[in-house]
């Protein structure tokens, strides 16, 4: 694994310039093509120069009191990274998604973009993620590459449980390499066939079974796995524990997925692990998993909206050139109405995300209702926006060489990050019921 990573890092550093160093001729040609054309490479949406109005809107959003100068500087830093390096990497990501995912993790880690998820965890304190920073990062990554955004979310989802509940040794061993992008980590939550069961054995644990749809599984060096304890009776309440396991001790089988994000099945054949591999206390695994997923809801929502804005900007640029059903886009009232609806939904969702992230960053409230509404509305709005663009493209929206249906697939792939939580609509409805009941009691 170290040799693989060193090779990937050399490739990442050689294929992309950074901090003002001159790029080679090939990269300069790629950058010129990315800025000068809309579909630079067949089969891949390219990072295009953004319209002036969109840039002004982003400046206005970051100028709101919800954001600090730290977030504005972070925005500029990530924007430069996307323009100069990640945009170039996105051009070839469909040719070799595994290599692109590895290089994306390395580049993001080199720039310190995983640090907002850790807070002061490396200093021994409890992690307090900066959700506004994570939302800024993921919105920009989504506008550049759905694969890059998905990889970023999966890496954060894997390292956060270690930062949250890992002991001092576990943090010291794992977090530095993961946060710097040298090591890839995958979190395994969904049971496969057979499901993953853990049994106690002479001061150790034995893992047997499998996990499916594990993001980054084919390239991960470590797995954070949620395992159910073997029941001793039919009436025993289910208990779960979480473990950090070396990927070399598991069998990994790549799986096909709707987006280029690498996923796979992870199997354990009566693998014995030490007690030191457990995160937190015995039986606390489900609580750790739910806390980690709850933290990722708003950043995942920002990633969805970033992909949606990418689809809308690139799609409208193409439709202005091609027209709709043989007529200019501006003369198609139905198309304009549909675009107006989805843009309104996307912007409204982003406002909800910003407000919920601000409240969670600046208060001790979990903002359960606001977070849930923002996440659900963002997912629905992003899917509606991507579907609208694909539909307006007509038959071209069905071509594998064009990116329009892929935008929709990349948005839907982000459901992996939060689908294991309670149904969002049920949370919002129960919140309404509780408020009505409380009002009746007061009266």
Kindly report the three-state secondary structure assignment for every residue of 333-395: HHHHHHHHHHHHHHHHHHHHHHHHHHHHHHCCCCCHHHHHHHHHHHHHHHHHHHHHHHHHCHH
Predicted confidence (pLDDT) per residue in 38-62, tens digit:
334 334 444 444 554 555 556 557 7
- Asked if residue 18 is part of any domain, the answer here is no
Does one domain contain both 7 and 145? yes
- Asked if residue 443 is part of any domain, the answer here is no
Domain limit, last residue, from 182, 197, 220: 182
Does one domain contain both 6 and 154? yes
Does one domain contain both 159 and 50? yes
The mean pLDDT of 368-396, rounded to a whole number, is 93
In the chain, % helix, strand, coil (3-state, to 5) comes to 60, 15, 25
The mean pLDDT of 408-422, rounded to a whole number, is 84
Predicted confidence (pLDDT) per residue in 165-200, tens digit:
999 999 999 999 999 999 999 999 999 999 999 999
pLDDT of residue 39: 38
Distance CA 339, CA 311 (A): 11
Does one domain contain both 346 and 203? no
The mean pLDDT of 325-344, rounded to a whole number, is 92
The mean pLDDT of 61-76, rounded to a whole number, is 88
More confident residue, 127 or 6: 127
pLDDT of residue 261: 95
Distance CA 38, CA 91 (A): 12
pLDDT of residue 322: 87
Predicted confidence (pLDDT) per residue in 211-234, tens digit:
999 999 999 999 999 999 998 888
Which residue matches tokens 């609208």?
388
pTM, two decimal places? 0.84
Domain limit, last residue, from 227, 262, 285: 285
Does one domain contain both 161 and 215? no
pLDDT of residue 232: 83
The mean pLDDT of 282-287, rounded to a whole number, is 94
- Asked if residue 25 is part of any domain, the answer here is no
- Asked if residue 29 is part of any domain, the answer here is no
Does one domain contain both 216 and 357? no
Domain limit, last residue, from 182, 198, 230: 182
Given a cut of 80, is residue 406 above it in pLDDT? yes
pLDDT of residue 58: 61
pLDDT of residue 435: 87
Provide the domain count of the chain. Answer: 3
Q: What is the sign of the dihedral through the CA atoms of 32, 37, 38 and 44?
A: negative
The mean pLDDT of 20-27, rounded to a whole number, is 41
- Asked if residue 73 is part of any domain, the answer here is yes
Return the CATH number at 392.
1.20.140.10
pLDDT of residue 50: 52
Return the CATH number at 176.
1.10.540.10
Q: In this structure, how many other beta carbons lie within 10 angstroms of the beta carbon of residue 165?
A: 22
Its domain, for residue 244, covers 188-285
Does one domain contain both 275 and 293? no
Q: Are 262 and 215 in contact (CB under 8 A)?
A: yes
Could you tell me which residues come within 8 angstroms of residue 379 by beta carbon, excluding any fewer than 6 positions away? 301, 304, 411, 414, 415
- Asked if residue 146 is part of any domain, the answer here is yes
Given a cut of 90, is residue 36 above it in pLDDT? no
Does one domain contain both 382 and 324? yes
More confident residue, 368 or 37: 368
pLDDT of residue 53: 52
pLDDT of residue 119: 86
More confident residue, 443 or 131: 131
Does one domain contain both 320 and 404? yes
Distance CA 386, CA 379 (A): 11
- 194: cis peptide before it, omega within 30°? yes
Q: How confident is the model at residue 397 (pLDDT cuts 50, 70, 90)?
A: confident
Q: How confident is the model at residue 325 (pLDDT cuts 50, 70, 90)?
A: confident
- Asked if residue 390 is part of any domain, the answer here is yes
Does one domain contain both 272 and 292? no
Q: Are 241 and 229 in contact (CB under 8 A)?
A: yes
Does one domain contain both 401 and 375? yes
Mean pLDDT of the chain: 86
Does one domain contain both 268 and 296? no
Closest CA to 221 of 155, 276, 122: 155
């Amino acid at each position: 694994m170290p040799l693989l990573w060193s090779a990937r890092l050399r490739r990442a550093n050689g294929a992309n310039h950074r901090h003002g160093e001159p790029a080679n001729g090939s990269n300069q040609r790629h950058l010129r093509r990315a800025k000068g054309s809309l579909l630079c490479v067949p089969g891949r949406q390219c990072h295009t120069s953004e319209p002036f109005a969109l840039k002004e809107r982003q400046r206005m959003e970051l100028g709101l009191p919800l954001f600090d100068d730290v977030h504005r500087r972070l925005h500029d830093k990530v924007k430069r990274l996307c323009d100069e390096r990640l945009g170039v990497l996105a051009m070839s990501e469909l040719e070799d998604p595994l290599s692109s995912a590895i290089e994306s993790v390395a580049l993001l880690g080199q720039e310190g973009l995983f640090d907002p998820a850790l807070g002061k965890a490396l200093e021994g304190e409890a992690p307090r993620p900066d959700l506004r920073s994570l939302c800024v990062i993921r919105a920009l990554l989504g506008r550049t590459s759905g694969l890059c955004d998905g990889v970023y979310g999966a890496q954060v989802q894997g390292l956060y449980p270690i930062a949250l509940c890992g002991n001092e040794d576990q943090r010291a061993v794992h977090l530095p390499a993961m946060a710097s992008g040298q090591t890839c980590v995958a979190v395994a939550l969904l049971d496969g066939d057979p499901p993953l069961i853990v049994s106690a054995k002479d001061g150790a644990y034995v893992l047997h079974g499998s996990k499916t749809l594990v993001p980054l599984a084919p390239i991960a060096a470590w797995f954070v796995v949620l395992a159910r304890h073997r029941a001793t009776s039919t009436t025993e309440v289910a208990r779960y524990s979480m473990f950090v396991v070396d990927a070399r001790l598991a069998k990994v089988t790549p799986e096909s997925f709707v987006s280029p994000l690498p996923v796979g099945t992870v199997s354990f054949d009566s693998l014995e692990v030490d007690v030191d591999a457990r995160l937190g206390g015995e039986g606390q695994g489900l609580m750790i998993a739910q806390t980690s997923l709850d933290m990722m809801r708003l950043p995942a929502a920002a990633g969805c909206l970033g992909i949606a804005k990418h689809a809308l900007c690139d799609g409208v640029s193409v439709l202005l050139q091609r027209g709709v059903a043989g007529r200019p886009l501006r003369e198609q009232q139905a198309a304009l109405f549909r675009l107006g609806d989805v843009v309104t939904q996307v912007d409204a969702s982003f406002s909800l995300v910003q407000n919920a992230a601000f409240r969670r960053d600046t208060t001790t409230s979990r903002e359960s209702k606001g977070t849930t509404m923002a996440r659900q509305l963002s997912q629905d709005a992003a899917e509606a926006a991507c579907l609208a663009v694909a539909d307006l493209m007509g038959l071209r929206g069905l071509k594998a060489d064009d990116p329009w249906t892929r935008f929709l697939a990349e948005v839907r792939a982000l459901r992996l990050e939060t689908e294991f939580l309670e149904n969002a609509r049920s949370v919002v409805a129960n919140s309404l019921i509780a408020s009505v009941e409380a009002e009746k009691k007061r009266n």
